[in-house]
Chain A
Amino acid sequence: MGALSLSNVCKSFGTVDVIQGVDLEVADGEFCVFVGPSGCGKSTLLRMIAGLEDVTSGEVRIDGARVNLTPPSKREIAMVFQSYALYPHLTVRDNMGLALKQAGTAKAEVAGAVQRASAMLSLDALLERRPAELSGGQRQRVAIGRAIVRRPKLFLFDEPLSNLDAALRVQTRIEIARLHRELSATMIYVTHDQVEAMTLADRIVVLNAGKVAQIGAPMELYNDPANTFVAGFIGSPQMNFLRAADLGEPGETLGIRPEHLTISRESGRIAGSVSHVERLGGETNVYVTTDAHGLLTVRLFGEHSFAFAETVHLTPEPGRSFLFDRAGARIRR
């Protein structure tokens, strides 16, 4: 098991600065998730931790030791890829055992490690098959198994679930959470699915254009976002951003989550007309066009019906809103 520490890590491809000074401490046994929009540098950062990409400047430490120049296989890490990346010419058993075999581990020991991992993921029936003879879900389980066999200090996952269908994704997510508990291993997990991030993470790192926007526990990010980017990125449907001046508040923007806007047919602070209603059974999302603030979303629990173009009035719940300045940074009260 091991802790990870990044200090002022930067990466440039030619003249493009993809990662711009990331500082991060991940404690031993922690489950840390990187989220951010596509192209913000999540995979690049993960690949630098793995040693697949050189660090332009800054320092990567695993378990206290500087590993900037250590090759990937010597960093005692294991990585699970989005595309599974199983060796097509090897059976599941050999796929899982290869890393140990390469490291010169005794045959019996490799067999034992493969056996334990396959029992953990119920892969026993598949051990003699080749990757081409497995379904997508089975391949991803084998890829996870291959990572477990090595007993790495650090598990790295790069969007491991995004090629799976919704049901399998939920199932594998639960499986990964269980593995994290059982192995009490340090895991770094990249995703752009915020449900995965919120449900799995001890701590989330939100990245925006190569910089850390905020680091914190899932509920910390949800209840106490540091800037408009994090506020808008975490939570679904997205937070509403209103013009603070129109509501008599200081700052530039007032953010309020859809569930903290009350809707009324009679009276309220912001008038608008219903432009679309999504009824999901457990909840109802109402999209309201307003003159002053553009399109706003209201999330109601249970079933509700509103007619198209109906006039409604919205009121932010007191004490539930966040204020941000012109640059997007939070103004704390």
Chain B
Amino acid sequence: MANRARTSLPRTLAAHAILLAYTAIALFPVFVIVINAMKSRRAIFAHPLQLPGPKSFDLIGFQTVLSQGNFPLYFWNSLIVTVVSLAFILLFGAMAAFALSEYRFKGNLLMGLYLALGIMIPIRLGTVAILQLMVATGLVNTLFALILVYTAQGIPLAVFILSEFMKTVSADLKNAGRIDGLSEYRIFFRLVVPLVRPAMATVAVFSMIPIWNDLWFPLILAPAERVKTVTLGAQVFLGQFVTDWNAVLASLSLAIVPVLVLYLVFSRQLIRGITSGAVK
């Protein structure tokens, strides 16, 4: 949608140059990981920035990853934890945000502040208490433990962002629904949620990466083989004395793929939301 009257060539060029430079900087580490994952061990250390050539090309890392350990399972675990946590964060976050933005009740403001506090205080401070809780409830070494913790970790930001957006949804629309006999749940799911979909995609993208990448809680709450996540699984290649760099890089490369797919799904929502709002 180039608007000739408002753009000039030098300005466009400058903007693109800045964006390209930023893209290059942001993608560089990923690029280095991916190319080195496909090289032999010697080539990784000799020429870390070289593209894999006929001589240095080697898929040993991927072979190790797929044969050793239980990587398909780790992937499955990570995916379950991430997707279920995201679903909970979005569902409960959006519901709490709706309640806070829509209903006037005693303690509304206090509740909002209490939830916002969660954004400022890192959940890891409570690790010991969480561990005690999980031990007491017998949830140690289950994926459900991780899902609970990540849901708790993600909800404050979700509520914060979504309640702001929900305040912008037309009150008349919700009232029309009430007069037509829609339940509050139908109003929430059918009228409000579709209109804040872009905001929900934003929340999903922001919440997803820290969950997928987290090492801390899997290590503490679910270190058993059965419930290992990818990030934790990749640690087997990082030894105190020897590190299998091929396998580490290969597992990291593989770990990028699912997040990329999830991101593409959400970002489409994001863009659709933004443009539909803009054109209207």
Chain A residues within 8 Å of B, Cβ to Cβ: 47, 50, 52, 71-73, 77-79, 81-89, 98-99, 102-103, 132, 146
Stretch at the interface among B111-119, B147-155, B174-182: B174-182
A52 B180 Cβ-Cβ under 8 A:
no
Instruction: Report which of A79, A86, A98, A102 forms a contact with B175, defined as CB distance below 8 A.
Output: A79
1/0 contact string of B132-146 vs chain A (CB within 8 Å): 000000000000000
**With contacts A52-B175, A79-B175, A132-B280 known, is A85 near B182, CB below 8 A?**
no
B178 A85 Cβ-Cβ under 8 A:
no
Q: Which residue of A is nearest B104, CB measured? A: A13
B172 surroundings in chain A (CB, below 8 A): 81-85
A89 surroundings in chain B (CB, below 8 A): 190, 194
A81 surroundings in chain B (CB, below 8 A): 172, 175-176
B181 A73 Cβ-Cβ under 8 A:
yes
A86 surroundings in chain B (CB, below 8 A): 176
**With contacts A81-B172, A82-B172, A132-B280 known, is A87 near B179, CB below 8 A?**
no
A–B Cβ pairs within 8 angstroms, 26 of them: A47-B175, A50-B179, A71-B178, A72-B175, A72-B178, A73-B179, A73-B181, A73-B182, A77-B179, A78-B179, A79-B175, A79-B176, A79-B179, A83-B173, A85-B170, A86-B176, A87-B176, A87-B177, A87-B190, A87-B191, A88-B194, A98-B180, A99-B180, A102-B182, A132-B280, A146-B180
Q: Which residue of B is nearest A102, CB measured? A: B181
| Number of residues from B at the complex interface, CB < 8 A | 16
Cα distance A99–B172 in the bound complex, in angstroms: 16
Judged by a CB distance under 8 angstroms, whether B130 is at the interface is no
B179 A83 Cβ-Cβ under 8 A:
no
Instruction: Report which of B170, B180, B280 forms a contact with A102, defined as CB distance below 8 A.
Output: B180
B179 surroundings in chain A (CB, below 8 A): 50, 52, 72-73, 77-79, 99
B181 A85 Cβ-Cβ under 8 A:
no
Chain B residues within 8 Å of A, Cβ to Cβ: 170, 172-173, 175-182, 190-191, 194-195, 280
Least distance between B184 CB and chain A CB atoms (Å): 11
Cα distance A103–B172 in the bound complex, in angstroms: 20
* 5 shortest interchain CB distances as A-B pairs: A73-B181, A102-B181, A85-B172, A99-B180, A81-B172
Least distance between A252 CB and chain B CB atoms (Å): 42
Cα distance A72–B190 in the bound complex, in angstroms: 19
Cα distance A103–B178 in the bound complex, in angstroms: 12
Cα distance A71–B178 in the bound complex, in angstroms: 8
Least distance between A97 CB and chain B CB atoms (Å): 10
Q: Which residue of A is nearest B174, CB measured? A: A85
Least distance between B167 CB and chain A CB atoms (Å): 15
Q: Which residue of B is nearest A158, CB measured? A: B172
A52 B178 Cβ-Cβ under 8 A:
yes
Cα distance A78–B181 in the bound complex, in angstroms: 11
Least distance between A270 CB and chain B CB atoms (Å): 49
B175 surroundings in chain A (CB, below 8 A): 47, 50, 52, 72, 79, 81, 85
Least distance between A189 CB and chain B CB atoms (Å): 16
Q: Which residue of A is nearest B173, CB measured? A: A85
Least distance between A65 CB and chain B CB atoms (Å): 18
Q: Which residue of A is nearest B180, CB measured? A: A99
Most A CB atoms within 10 A — which of B176, B177, B178, B181? B176
Least distance between B108 CB and chain A CB atoms (Å): 12
Least distance between A325 CB and chain B CB atoms (Å): 41
Q: Which residue of B is nearest A54, CB measured? A: B104
Q: Which residue of A is nearest B170, CB measured? A: A83
**With contacts A52-B178, A73-B179, A103-B181 known, is A87 near B173, CB below 8 A?**
yes
Most A CB atoms within 10 A — which of B170, B178, B179, B280? B179
Least distance between B174 CB and chain A CB atoms (Å): 8
Least distance between B265 CB and chain A CB atoms (Å): 20
Cα distance A78–B179 in the bound complex, in angstroms: 7
A85 B280 Cβ-Cβ under 8 A:
no
A77 surroundings in chain B (CB, below 8 A): 179
